[in-house]
Amino acid sequence: MQKVKSGGTPMRAPTGYLNVRSTVNGREVRGIEIDPVRGPLMQWAFEAYASEQWTIRSLTDELAARGLTSVAGPSTPSAPLGTSNVQRLLRNPYYMGIIRYKGTLYEGRHEPLVTPETWRRVQEILGAHNIAGEKQRTHPHYLKGSVYCGSCGSRLVVSHAKNRHGTVYPYFICVGRQQKRTTCLQQAVRIDQVEELVTTAYAKIHLSAEQADSVRDFILDEITSLRDKSRSERSRLQWRMNALTKEQQKLLDAHYADAIPLDLLKKEQSRITTELVSAKARLAHLALDYADAEANLTHALALARDCETAYRESSDKVRRQFNQVFFKRLLIDDNYEINGELEEPFGTLLGDEIRQAADLRMESELQRILDEGPREDDAEVAADPNLVLVRSLPQESEPTPHLVGGLKEKTMVGAEGLEPPTC
């Protein structure tokens, strides 16, 4: 842990960590270690909540089912955590390696359980729920959280209507209209019809085998270029982190020597800690493994090929995963028209712009072969002269596509990779 000028009892580690003591050269040494039982459960709790598929209540119940309990104290036994305990733990920056001491943030020496990105995402979700005053309820239908009102953009929620014969029909209704948050007038839509509508949406976003190969080659070239360009930035970030660490130590030394007041120490320590966390997160993002990126890209393109059939044949649980992987949200109106906003990387992979850019790149390479003759690395293409002639140049009547002006790392494959639905 970060050294601070304090002679009191050491801070008790939060759930997921253990206070440990050892003897080195006859002296007692205190430290922090990850709890082998509770640590993985708390790590899972952050990652699960960051996925937006769990409420605090359902997450608390699941953690209890998995065996997460509080650490027993001198006079208190261990017990399952309550919802307020779980929410408090999710807000604790200790889990991403930061210690809050007397109102000041310090970089800890303990091993983080979650990345800064995951911790910040959890804070955004907690904040959004508090602002909206949302009730912590479970929503069993697999389309919940994916479908939204096509008129006002509010979430669609399940409602059940009974006709005069006593038959119950499930509907999706706009929560904005229901709770009078908006002036929306959209009518209820039948859930069974929405289910089929979402299924047919997958027929519009698939890639052919040829398109998938073309897009894959184009993006891998872009990733290689981005990786090469990132080397100088990694060096700069490492230099900045070393400088911040030295500055942090100088501040502490000056404070211990009574050279700077406590309020200035707090202000400067908070600034340095924020910069360090940001630099570490960026450095981790730049350290993407190229092999993992290629594998994740291959997974994404494999999903995009014939995804309609895979979706139709999947269980409700897997369909929910499909919708979360492919779409940010699905907008449904009362005319039963659907507009899907694609999640990344599919927004890029399935967009017209990148397909045109990939096609133009291929056509340029084939034209070069016609003009200059094949090189050694063109052996595969040159082996089929008909391919060169067929894909030589775009027709004059077709508009000339424009190249994508560079692709960002997070647009391609995220630092945590793409988890495809498991059929």
pLDDT at 107: 80
Task: Give CA–CA dist 164/145, Å, rounded.
Answer: 31
Summarize the confidence of residues 319-332 as an average pLDDT.
89
Indicate the average pLDDT of the chain: 77
Task: Compare 112 and 423 and report the one with higher pLDDT.
Answer: 112
Please enumerate in sequence order all residues whose Cβ is within 8 A of that of 261, keeping only pairs 6 or more positions apart, or say none.
Answer: none
pLDDT-derived band at 401 (thresholds 50, 70, 90) equals very low
pLDDT at 112 over 50: yes
User: pLDDT by residue (tens digit) across 178-235?
Assistant: 888 889 999 999 999 999 999 988 888 877 777 777 777 777 777 777 777 777 788 8
Alpha helix locations (H) across 152-261?
Answer: 175-178, 191-201, 209-256
Q: Give pLDDT, residue 187.
A: 93
Looking at residue 232, what is its pLDDT? Answer: 76
pLDDT at site 233: 80
Condensed to tens digits (0 to 9), the pLDDT of residues 31-74 reads 888 999 999 999 999 999 988 778 888 899 889 888 888 877 77
pLDDT in tens, 364-393: 766 666 666 655 554 444 444 333 333 333
Q: 343-357 pLDDT, tens per residue?
A: 877 777 777 777 677
Q: HSE-up of 93 (CA within 13 Å, CB side)?
A: 16
pLDDT of residue 366: 66
Q: How confident is the model at residue 421, as a pLDDT?
A: 55
Tell if the pTM clears 0.85, that is, is over it: no
Greater confidence (80 vs 367) lies with 80
> Does 134 have pLDDT greater than 70?
no
Is the pLDDT assigned to residue 404 strictly greater than 50? Answer: no
In angstroms, rounded to a whole number, what is the distance separating the alpha carbons of residues 74 and 76? 6
Q: What local confidence, expressed as pLDDT, does residue 153 receive?
A: 92
Structure tokens, 299:
């997974």
Distance in angstroms (rounded) separating the CA atoms of residues 241 and 278:
10
Q: How far is CA 371 from CA 118, 136, 165, 366, 368, in A?
A: 51, 65, 76, 9, 5
- pLDDT above 70 (res 415): no
Please compute, for residue 360, the number of CA atoms within 13 A of its CA located in the half-sphere on the CB side.
13
